[in-house]
Structure 1
Amino acid sequence: MNSAAAIRAAESADHAVRIASRRPRSESEPPGREWAQMDAATGEGIPAAVAGVDAVVHAASDPRWADAVDVNGM
């Protein structure tokens, strides 16, 4: 399941969705979704991005950096 499918599944089950990305919110992003800017590689913004959430779906990955970021926390 990719991130877009995970978002649609959560929204169709009436869950509030907060999207976290290192990129700023796009103008094409549908209204009603919370957006948090963060960087998984540096950790910047992660505490604010996950504050108050009940679950995290980690769908970001770059195979070149998977171990350094996802495992070691760079």
Structure 2
Amino acid sequence: MSEMTLEELWELFPIILREHSTDYKDWYEIEKRELLNCIDSKNIMRINHIGSISVEGLIAKPTVDILLEINNESNIE
């Protein structure tokens, strides 16, 4: 891939932007629940919906970005 032109990369990995959807918040909540099912809540400092789709009305890539902060006392690597 390092030898591909930008045009070739864009064709292979297109950037798709969409109007804001009310579904985005639901998508985040689903993913948050999945994380909470996998990681003990005592290890979690904070979970936040970040990125462009977290901003209502913003045109963005329909990808859920989540910031998960783990406390220093956890043994998660």
TM-score range, shorter-chain basis?
under 0.3
> TM (normalized to structure 2)?
0.23
Q: Specify the structure having the higher radius of gyration (Cα).
A: 2
> TM (normalized to structure 1)?
0.24
Structure holding more helix per residue: 2
Structure holding more strand per residue: 2
